[in-house]
Amino acid sequence: MQAPSSRSHLELFELLMRELGEHMVKAPKPLHETSKDWSDAPSSPPVAILEPRSSEEVSQVLAFCNRLQIPLAIQGGMTGLVGGANSMPGEAVLSLAKLNRIEHIDTTAGTALIQAGVTLEQLQNAAEEHDWFFPLDLGARGSCQLGGNAATNAGGNRVIRYGMMRNAILGLEVILADGTRLERLDTVIKNNAGFDLKQLFIGSEGQLGVITQLVIQLQPRPSARCTALCALDGLTKSTQLLKLLKGVLPELSAFEVMWSDYVHESARLQGLALPFQAQYPIYVLIETLGHDLSLSVSAVENALQQALLDEVILDAVLAQSEQQAQKLWSYREGVSELLTALKPCAAFDVSVSLPKMQALVLDLQEELTNRFKEQHHLFFGHLGDGNLHLISGPYPDPEDLHALEELTYQRIAAYGGSISAEHGIGVVKREFLHHSKSKEEIDLMAQLKKLLDPKSILNPQRVIPS
């Protein structure tokens, strides 16, 4: 058999077309439309775009590509921030976009059986229509897919209450590189019959198999949402506030911290007025989800009153309507505007234990503003989970961007943190993985990859360092 690299794009396209047919194989569209996620990682025009519509068709695609050693870029909603789904030279794209059916919602058990290409927002809306709730939430909800959320073990704004994507998955169907179908669509919480294999694929960024179906655990639909924005004089106060609120607000569902530069830039780009008359170093957005609005409101009011008395916060605004709540969330949700405005930029997503967070941020702020004076360095994050985000840019010179990444990851490692709290490794962080995983762990990852994908056709040259 001919080696894959010796075939031209046209030959490969024709081979795929002959085997899989025109209902599945599409010619690549212009690059910007198809093969780039939200990172500034490189991308090449793919050989073809493969759009299967069922698990059987995904299996057929994989069996054929494995036989011919055609490498694949697996693409969900393309909202990733580490370049993992971008296509590389010689790769065909395997798109999950046409696997977009919500198969069944069990209104008694509160479970949903869905195909992997269903978007997060689609499931959120469908759950609500059935009087249930899917709590996972992030800014890219309109485009990101549940398969992508599972492949990256997405976090988002409500992890503090409901956990990450992993916590919501009861069952998974995965197609292995050779086309083998592993169907374990459990609808039960407990299943200790042998290894819990689905855990291997959650967060594996398309390295070990293609997720085609999921069973999701929904939650009771809350009917009362309270949102408030607090102003603080420093990060230390935010950890005090978190402790206070956790103690008195069991309904606490979000605790999002934003540094003042972040709020100002986000407001400026969206044309929003600043939230308070005065400016403060730190803002914390809090949300509770409950079932009795007057009880929830008075619980939040009392908690904020206490925080004011204890001088943990300096000011606060409690949304009086859903519209006001949306407005308060807008400051936090300016991520897409910021990522666009600061391109080319780095979007860091790190975690560190709360007691070390203050020192790490001060350290980074000082280093970055001294070394990269022309750039913005905007800090924010899901502080309740010890998860810090930083958008830093623009960096027209790739060498500067690389120096920034090196410096930042060294600092994170020195503080014992992780270089990825929720976005994954992809290509952007591949060479930095050693900061967060030992040689033995990376070796084991490589062995697992070799076992499940011996010809390395699934997202090659990503995640695991060569």
Residues in contact with ligand FAD by CB under 6 A are 37-38, 74-81, 84-85, 96, 116, 138-140, 144-145, 147-149, 151-152, 154-156, 205-206, 210-211, 335-336, 422-423, 426, 459
Query: What is the DSSP annotation of 353-372?
Result: -HHHHHHHHHHHHHHHHHH-
Q: CB of 117: closest distance to ligand FAD in angstroms?
A: 7
Closest approach of Cβ 248 to ligand FAD, in Å?
Answer: 26
Nearer Cβ to ligand FAD (319/428): 428
- Compute the least distance from the CB of residue 210 to ligand FAD, in Å: 4
Q: How far is the CB of 149 from ligand FAD (least distance, A)?
A: 4
In three-state secondary structure terms, 100 is coil
Tokens 């695609």, residue located: 61
CB of 376 to ligand FAD, least distance (A): 17
Cβ proximity to ligand FAD, 211 vs 383, nearer residue: 211
Position with the least CB separation from ligand FAD: 148
Closer to ligand FAD by Cβ: residue 422 or 453: 422
What size, in residues, is the chain?
466
CA angle 421, 423, 428 (to 5 degrees): 110
Closer to ligand FAD by Cβ: residue 296 or 459: 459
**Which residue type is seen at 194?**
G
**Least Cβ distance, residue 350 to ligand FAD (angstroms):** 13
Shorter beta-carbon distance to ligand FAD: residue 268 or 291: 268
Least distance between ligand FAD and beta carbon 454 (Å): 18
Nearer to ligand FAD, 238 or 351 (CB): 351
Report d(CA 341, CA 323) in Å as an integer. 26
Q: Which two tokens stand for residue 70?
A: 């055609």
Q: In what order do the strands lie in the sheet with 224-232?
A: 315-318, 224-232, 282-290, 252-259, 376-382, 387-393, 346-351
- Nearest alpha-carbon partner for 39 in 424, 433, 464, 442: 424
Cβ–Cβ under 8 Å, residues 417 and 432: no
Backbone φ and ψ for 264, nearest 5 degrees, come out as -65, -45
Hey, what are 125's tokens? Answer: 């809306």
| Helix 9-20 and helix 55-68, axial crossing angle in degrees, nearest 10 | 140
Closest approach, Cβ 301 to ligand FAD, in A, equals: 28
Comparison of 145 and 227: residue with beta carbon closer to ligand FAD: 145
Please give the distance of CA 2 from its chain centroid, rounded to a whole number.
Answer: 38
Q: Output 263 or 297, the one with its CB closest to ligand FAD.
A: 263
Sheet holding 92-95, edge to edge: 25-26, 49-50, 92-95, 72-75
Nearer to ligand FAD, 39 or 111 (CB): 39
196-215 as b/e, with b when 16 or more CB fall inside 10 Å? eebeebbbbbbbbbbbbbbb
CB of 107 to ligand FAD, least distance (A): 26
